[in-house]
Structure 1
C-alpha cells in the first residue's frame, strides 16, 4: 500500500513540474519550433507542400493527436498481449 502511495506522488510530481517550469504555457510541437528556426535562418523560405486539411482549432488538433496515440497504443497492447498469451498457452499445453 505504501509503495502505491509513493508511486502516485511521483506521478503527480511528474505531471505538475512541466507546468511550473513553463509557466507561460507555450507548449508547441517540434514542427512549430522547427518552422520558427527556419524562418530565423531564411525569412524567404516557402514550404514545399501545405496541409490538405487544417483542424479548426488547437483543441481539435490535440484531440486528434491524442486519439491517434491511443489507437496506436491499443493496437500495440493488443498484439503484445496476444503474443504473450500465446506463449503462456503453449507452455500450459506442454505440461
Structure 2
C-alpha cells in the first residue's frame, strides 16, 4: 500500500469519525452537566445542592478557556510527535 493511499484512507476515516456522531445527535448538543442535573431531578426531585460555584464565568469565557485548553493539548501532542519523528530520523542517519 502506497503512502498516498494510506493518507487517503486515514483522511476518509477521520471524516467518517467526525460526521457519524452528527447524524445521530439530531442537532441536540447537551453537556454532561445538563444530563446529570436532569438525571438527579428525575431520581430525587427534592435534592438540594450542598455547594455552589464561587463565581460564574460568561459562556464566551468558558468557550475561550476550553478552546485554549484544546489548542495547548494539540500543540503538546504535535510537539511530541515531531520530537519522536526527529529522534528516529537522527537515529537512522547515525546508523
Runs of 4 or more off by more than 4 Å in structure 1? 72-78
**For 1:46 and 1:56, how far apart are their aligned partners in 2?**
24
**For 1:8 and 1:14, how far apart are their aligned partners in 2?**
10
Match of 1:52 in 2: 54
TM-score computed with the length of structure 2 as normaliser: 0.64
Q: 1:19 aligns with which of 19, 22, 25?
A: 22
The runs of 5 or more residues in structure 1 that have no matched partner are none
**For 2:70 and 2:55, how far apart are their aligned partners in 1?**
19
**For 1:6 and 1:76, how far apart are their aligned partners in 2?**
22
Residue 35 of structure 1: how far off its partner (Å): 1.1
